[in-house]
Structure 1
Amino acid sequence: MAKHEDQYITQISTSITVKGDIIGESDVRIAGTIIGTINIAGDLIIEKTGVVEGEVKVNNATIAGTVKGNIECVEKLTLESTSKFTGNIKTKQLIIENGAYFQGGCVMPSNETLL
Protein backbone atom coordinates (compact mmCIF):
# COMPACT_ATOMS: atom_id res chain seq x y z
CA MET A 1 0.00 0.00 0.00
CA ALA A 2 1.53 3.31 -1.09
CA LYS A 3 1.42 6.06 1.50
CA HIS A 4 -0.17 9.39 0.67
CA GLU A 5 2.47 12.12 0.12
CA ASP A 6 1.63 14.11 3.30
CA GLN A 7 0.01 11.34 5.35
CA TYR A 8 2.94 10.75 7.70
CA ILE A 9 4.49 14.21 7.90
CA THR A 10 4.42 16.21 11.13
CA GLN A 11 4.46 19.94 10.40
CA ILE A 12 5.41 22.79 12.74
CA SER A 13 4.23 26.08 11.21
CA THR A 14 5.89 29.49 11.41
CA SER A 15 3.71 30.70 14.28
CA ILE A 16 4.57 27.72 16.54
CA THR A 17 7.37 27.38 19.14
CA VAL A 18 7.93 23.99 20.74
CA LYS A 19 10.02 23.69 23.90
CA GLY A 20 10.68 20.01 24.44
CA ASP A 21 11.65 16.84 22.66
CA ILE A 22 10.27 15.47 19.40
CA ILE A 23 10.54 11.68 19.16
CA GLY A 24 8.90 9.55 16.50
CA GLU A 25 8.93 7.49 13.34
CA SER A 26 7.53 9.90 10.72
CA ASP A 27 9.01 12.72 8.68
CA VAL A 28 9.00 16.22 10.22
CA ARG A 29 8.84 19.60 8.45
CA ILE A 30 9.69 22.67 10.57
CA ALA A 31 8.88 26.26 9.64
CA GLY A 32 8.61 27.42 13.27
CA THR A 33 10.96 27.07 16.26
CA ILE A 34 12.03 23.95 18.17
CA ILE A 35 14.02 24.25 21.38
CA GLY A 36 14.92 20.71 22.39
CA THR A 37 15.96 17.35 21.03
CA ILE A 38 14.70 15.89 17.74
CA ASN A 39 15.05 12.12 17.43
CA ILE A 40 13.08 10.65 14.54
CA ALA A 41 13.46 7.62 12.29
CA GLY A 42 12.20 9.62 9.31
CA ASP A 43 13.49 12.64 7.43
CA LEU A 44 13.72 16.22 8.68
CA ILE A 45 13.10 19.34 6.61
CA ILE A 46 13.83 22.74 8.16
CA GLU A 47 12.29 25.48 6.08
CA LYS A 48 13.91 28.91 5.56
CA THR A 49 11.90 30.30 8.53
CA GLY A 50 12.65 27.28 10.73
CA VAL A 51 14.89 27.42 13.80
CA VAL A 52 16.16 24.45 15.82
CA GLU A 53 18.19 24.78 19.01
CA GLY A 54 19.22 21.36 20.26
CA GLU A 55 20.49 17.93 19.33
CA VAL A 56 19.13 16.26 16.18
CA LYS A 57 19.20 12.59 15.16
CA VAL A 58 17.39 11.66 11.91
CA ASN A 59 17.63 9.53 8.80
CA ASN A 60 18.09 12.40 6.29
CA ALA A 61 17.93 16.17 6.80
CA THR A 62 17.52 19.15 4.51
CA ILE A 63 18.17 22.50 6.17
CA ALA A 64 17.23 25.88 4.70
CA GLY A 65 16.82 27.63 8.09
CA THR A 66 18.90 27.92 11.27
CA VAL A 67 20.27 25.14 13.47
CA LYS A 68 22.32 25.55 16.65
CA GLY A 69 23.36 22.14 17.92
CA ASN A 70 24.81 18.85 16.79
CA ILE A 71 23.18 16.71 14.11
CA GLU A 72 23.53 13.03 13.27
CA CYS A 73 22.07 11.82 9.99
CA VAL A 74 22.11 8.11 9.19
CA GLU A 75 22.29 8.83 5.46
CA LYS A 76 22.50 12.42 4.12
CA LEU A 77 22.53 16.04 5.29
CA THR A 78 21.89 18.89 2.84
CA LEU A 79 22.66 22.50 3.85
CA GLU A 80 20.80 24.69 1.39
CA SER A 81 22.07 28.13 0.35
CA THR A 82 19.94 29.93 2.98
CA SER A 83 20.96 27.69 5.89
CA LYS A 84 22.90 28.74 8.98
CA PHE A 85 24.35 25.78 10.88
CA THR A 86 26.44 26.01 14.04
CA GLY A 87 27.45 22.68 15.56
CA ASN A 88 28.95 19.33 14.74
CA ILE A 89 27.80 16.99 11.99
CA LYS A 90 27.94 13.20 11.74
CA THR A 91 26.65 11.79 8.43
CA LYS A 92 27.58 9.50 5.55
CA GLN A 93 26.94 12.16 2.91
CA LEU A 94 27.13 15.95 3.23
CA ILE A 95 25.96 18.46 0.62
CA ILE A 96 26.69 22.16 1.22
CA GLU A 97 25.20 24.56 -1.29
CA ASN A 98 26.94 27.81 -2.23
CA GLY A 99 25.92 30.51 0.28
CA ALA A 100 25.27 28.17 3.20
CA TYR A 101 26.86 29.07 6.56
CA PHE A 102 28.53 26.24 8.50
CA GLN A 103 30.61 26.58 11.65
CA GLY A 104 31.66 23.39 13.40
CA GLY A 105 33.12 19.99 12.72
CA CYS A 106 32.13 17.07 10.54
CA VAL A 107 32.68 13.33 10.85
CA MET A 108 31.80 11.11 7.92
CA PRO A 109 32.02 7.54 9.19
CA SER A 110 32.06 4.44 7.05
CA ASN A 111 28.89 2.35 6.82
CA GLU A 112 30.02 0.06 9.63
CA THR A 113 30.71 2.78 12.22
CA LEU A 114 27.44 4.73 11.82
CA LEU A 115 25.10 1.77 12.33
Structure 2
Amino acid sequence: MKMGFRKVDFFIPREMIITGSFSSKSSGQVEGIVNGDIQVKKKIVIEKSGVVNGDIVAEEVVVSGRITGDIKHCLKVTVRSGGIVRGNILTDEIHIEKNSVIDGLIIKKDTYTIIDKKIEKPEEQNVVKEADEDPVPSETDLIAEREAWF
Protein backbone atom coordinates (compact mmCIF):
# COMPACT_ATOMS: atom_id res chain seq x y z
CA MET A 1 0.00 0.00 0.00
CA LYS A 2 1.29 3.48 -0.80
CA MET A 3 1.06 6.56 1.39
CA GLY A 4 1.88 9.46 -0.89
CA PHE A 5 4.94 8.07 -2.65
CA ARG A 6 6.01 5.81 0.24
CA LYS A 7 5.15 2.23 0.96
CA VAL A 8 3.40 1.53 4.27
CA ASP A 9 3.47 -1.72 6.21
CA PHE A 10 0.07 -1.29 7.76
CA PHE A 11 -3.15 0.61 7.19
CA ILE A 12 -5.95 0.92 9.76
CA PRO A 13 -9.18 1.86 7.92
CA ARG A 14 -11.93 4.12 9.30
CA GLU A 15 -14.18 1.23 10.27
CA MET A 16 -11.52 -0.48 12.39
CA ILE A 17 -10.99 -0.14 16.16
CA ILE A 18 -7.84 -1.68 17.62
CA THR A 19 -7.57 -2.23 21.36
CA GLY A 20 -4.03 -2.94 22.51
CA SER A 21 -0.50 -1.82 21.75
CA PHE A 22 1.45 -2.82 18.64
CA SER A 23 4.69 -2.14 16.80
CA SER A 24 5.94 -2.15 13.20
CA LYS A 25 9.40 -2.03 11.65
CA SER A 26 8.24 0.24 8.82
CA SER A 27 5.65 2.96 8.13
CA GLY A 28 1.90 3.06 8.66
CA GLN A 29 -1.30 5.01 8.30
CA VAL A 30 -4.22 5.28 10.75
CA GLU A 31 -7.72 6.32 9.67
CA GLY A 32 -9.51 4.31 12.36
CA ILE A 33 -9.20 4.19 16.16
CA VAL A 34 -6.30 2.77 18.18
CA ASN A 35 -6.72 2.38 21.95
CA GLY A 36 -3.15 1.56 22.89
CA ASP A 37 0.47 2.55 22.32
CA ILE A 38 2.04 2.48 18.85
CA GLN A 39 5.74 1.96 18.18
CA VAL A 40 6.83 2.42 14.56
CA LYS A 41 10.40 2.36 13.31
CA LYS A 42 9.80 4.84 10.47
CA LYS A 43 6.82 7.14 9.74
CA ILE A 44 3.23 7.05 10.99
CA VAL A 45 0.44 9.23 9.63
CA ILE A 46 -2.70 9.82 11.69
CA GLU A 47 -5.29 10.92 9.12
CA LYS A 48 -8.21 13.32 9.83
CA SER A 49 -10.52 10.47 10.81
CA GLY A 50 -7.76 8.76 12.84
CA VAL A 51 -7.79 8.65 16.64
CA VAL A 52 -5.01 7.31 18.87
CA ASN A 53 -5.55 6.98 22.62
CA GLY A 54 -2.03 6.08 23.67
CA ASP A 55 1.62 7.03 23.26
CA ILE A 56 3.42 7.01 19.92
CA VAL A 57 7.12 6.30 19.36
CA ALA A 58 8.29 6.77 15.76
CA GLU A 59 10.97 8.35 13.62
CA GLU A 60 8.38 10.69 12.10
CA VAL A 61 4.77 11.46 13.08
CA VAL A 62 2.23 13.38 10.98
CA VAL A 63 -1.01 14.28 12.77
CA SER A 64 -4.16 15.36 10.95
CA GLY A 65 -6.49 13.53 13.38
CA ARG A 66 -6.43 13.24 17.20
CA ILE A 67 -3.84 11.87 19.61
CA THR A 68 -4.46 11.64 23.35
CA GLY A 69 -1.07 10.58 24.64
CA ASP A 70 2.59 11.49 24.31
CA ILE A 71 4.63 11.52 21.10
CA LYS A 72 8.11 10.33 22.09
CA HIS A 73 11.62 10.14 20.67
CA CYS A 74 10.78 11.45 17.20
CA LEU A 75 13.10 13.09 14.73
CA LYS A 76 10.21 15.07 13.21
CA VAL A 77 6.59 15.80 14.16
CA THR A 78 4.11 17.62 11.93
CA VAL A 79 0.72 18.70 13.31
CA ARG A 80 -1.41 19.61 10.31
CA SER A 81 -4.36 22.00 10.24
CA GLY A 82 -7.17 20.43 12.27
CA GLY A 83 -4.79 18.02 14.02
CA ILE A 84 -5.08 17.71 17.81
CA VAL A 85 -2.43 16.42 20.23
CA ARG A 86 -3.36 16.20 23.91
CA GLY A 87 -0.05 15.16 25.41
CA ASN A 88 3.64 16.01 25.45
CA ILE A 89 5.81 15.96 22.34
CA LEU A 90 9.49 14.97 22.57
CA THR A 91 11.16 15.61 19.20
CA ASP A 92 14.13 17.11 17.37
CA GLU A 93 11.98 19.06 14.91
CA ILE A 94 8.34 20.19 14.92
CA HIS A 95 6.07 21.78 12.33
CA ILE A 96 2.75 23.20 13.51
CA GLU A 97 0.21 24.34 10.95
CA LYS A 98 -2.44 26.99 11.51
CA ASN A 99 -5.67 25.72 13.19
CA SER A 100 -3.96 22.82 14.93
CA VAL A 101 -4.08 22.19 18.70
CA ILE A 102 -1.34 21.03 21.06
CA ASP A 103 -2.35 20.65 24.71
CA GLY A 104 0.95 19.66 26.33
CA LEU A 105 4.65 20.41 26.43
CA ILE A 106 6.92 20.51 23.40
CA ILE A 107 10.38 19.35 24.40
CA LYS A 108 13.46 19.27 22.18
CA LYS A 109 15.14 15.87 22.54
CA ASP A 110 18.64 17.10 23.47
CA THR A 111 17.19 19.55 26.03
CA TYR A 112 15.22 16.70 27.59
CA THR A 113 18.42 14.69 28.07
CA ILE A 114 20.12 17.62 29.83
CA ILE A 115 17.10 18.29 32.07
CA ASP A 116 16.75 14.60 32.87
CA LYS A 117 20.39 14.43 34.03
CA LYS A 118 19.98 17.51 36.24
CA ILE A 119 16.88 16.06 37.89
CA GLU A 120 18.73 12.98 39.11
CA LYS A 121 19.42 13.29 42.83
CA PRO A 122 22.31 11.77 44.74
CA GLU A 123 21.35 8.92 47.04
CA GLU A 124 22.44 10.93 50.10
CA GLN A 125 19.50 13.30 49.74
CA ASN A 126 17.05 10.45 50.04
CA VAL A 127 18.51 9.07 53.29
CA VAL A 128 16.39 9.61 56.39
CA LYS A 129 18.53 10.32 59.45
CA GLU A 130 17.48 9.52 62.97
CA ALA A 131 16.79 12.57 65.13
CA ASP A 132 18.91 13.16 68.25
CA GLU A 133 15.82 13.89 70.29
CA ASP A 134 12.29 12.54 70.13
CA PRO A 135 10.40 15.17 68.07
CA VAL A 136 7.04 14.15 69.56
CA PRO A 137 6.54 15.71 73.04
CA SER A 138 5.56 13.37 75.83
CA GLU A 139 2.21 13.63 77.61
CA THR A 140 3.98 15.06 80.67
CA ASP A 141 5.55 17.81 78.56
CA LEU A 142 2.16 18.71 77.03
CA ILE A 143 0.50 18.93 80.49
CA ALA A 144 3.34 21.08 81.85
CA GLU A 145 3.14 23.39 78.84
CA ARG A 146 -0.63 23.75 79.19
CA GLU A 147 -0.38 24.53 82.94
CA ALA A 148 2.25 27.19 82.24
CA TRP A 149 -0.38 29.16 80.33
CA PHE A 150 -2.76 29.32 83.28
- TM-score, normalized by the shorter chain, greater than 0.5: yes
Residue in 1 aligned with 2:47?
Answer: 47
Residue in 2 aligned with 1:84?
Answer: 84
Q: 1:55 Cα shift? A: 0.9
The higher-RCO structure (CA 8 Å, 6+ apart) is: 1
* Aligned 8 A contact 1:61 1:73 in 2: no
Report the Cα distance in structure 2 between the residues aligned to 1:58 and 1:83, rounded to whole angstroms. Answer: 17
Report the Cα distance in structure 2 between the residues aligned to 1:109 and 1:24, rounded to whole angstroms. Answer: 22
| Change over 3 Å in CA distance of 1:5–1:107 after alignment to 2 | closer
Report the Cα distance in structure 2 between the residues aligned to 1:31 and 1:25, rounded to whole angstroms. Answer: 19
Q: With structure 2 as the length reference, what TM-score do the two structures score?
A: 0.68
Deviations 1:64-104 (CA, angstroms, capped at 9, x unpaired): 00000001143100000010110000000011000001110
Structure 1 position 68 matched with structure 2 position 68: yes
Report the Cα distance in structure 2 between the residues aligned to 1:68 and 1:60, rounded to whole angstroms. Answer: 17
Task: Give structure 1 stretches of 5+ with no counterpart.
Answer: none
Residue in 2 aligned with 1:104?
Answer: 104
* Aligned 8 A contact 1:80 1:97 in 2: yes
Report sequence identity in percent. Answer: 25
SS for the counterpart of 2:98 is coil
Residue in 2 aligned with 1:10?
Answer: 10
Report the Cα distance in structure 1 between the residues aligned to 2:37 and 2:73, rounded to whole angstroms. Answer: 14
SS for the counterpart of 1:110 is helix
After the TM superposition, list the runs of 4 or more consecutive aligned residues in structure 1 that deviate by more than 2 angstroms: none
Report the Cα distance in structure 1 between the residues aligned to 2:77 and 2:89, rounded to whole angstroms. Answer: 9
Amino acid at match of 1:86: R
Residue in 2 aligned with 1:24?
Answer: 24
The structure whose residues are more often helix, as a share, is: 2
* Aligned 8 A contact 1:60 1:73 in 2: no
Structure ID, larger Rg: 2
